[in-house]
Amino acid sequence: MADILVIGEAEIIEGFALTGARIRPESDPTRAEQILHNLRVSRESDIVVITESLFEQFPEKTRVLLESSGRPIFLTLPRPAGMEFLGEREDLISRIIRRAIGYRLKIRR
């Protein structure tokens, strides 16, 4: 079974502990960036999920490094949104699938 770590604001990630995932509450982007760098080097987790609100505060260089990482795989947890953001969420899902299987899929409703 894959080791999953979820990083972000405590009020958003606490429920993931019920699924068996490890959680690491963190709302400071500088500290979170250091934690993620250490995870990239150590490869101690298989999948790292980061809240979108925290991920967006990282410098562009950090975001690109995380998105291109092979192991661990870094994923963003989208914030809840209405239908106006459906296209962005579909793009995110498509990118995740592309990273997992190597093919770009177009999601149709």
Q: Over its length of 109 residues, how does the chain's per-residue pLDDT go in tens digits?
A: 578 899 998 888 888 888 888 999 999 999 999 999 998 888 888 889 999 989 999 999 998 888 888 888 999 888 765 444 445 555 666 666 666 666 665 655 5
Residues 43 and 18 in one domain: yes
Residues 65 and 106 in one domain: no
Expressed as residue numbers, the domain containing 97 is 82-109
Residues 20 and 65 in one domain: yes
Residues 72 and 90 in one domain: no
**pTM to 2 decimals?**
0.69
What order of strands is seen across the sheet that includes strand 73-77?
Answer: 22-25, 4-8, 47-51, 73-77
Give, in order, the Cα–Cα distances in Å from 95 to each of 64, 88, 101, 103, 104. Answer: 13, 11, 10, 9, 7
Residues 66 and 27 in one domain: yes
Q: Is 51:76 a contact under the CB 8 Å cutoff?
A: yes
Residues 29 and 65 in one domain: yes
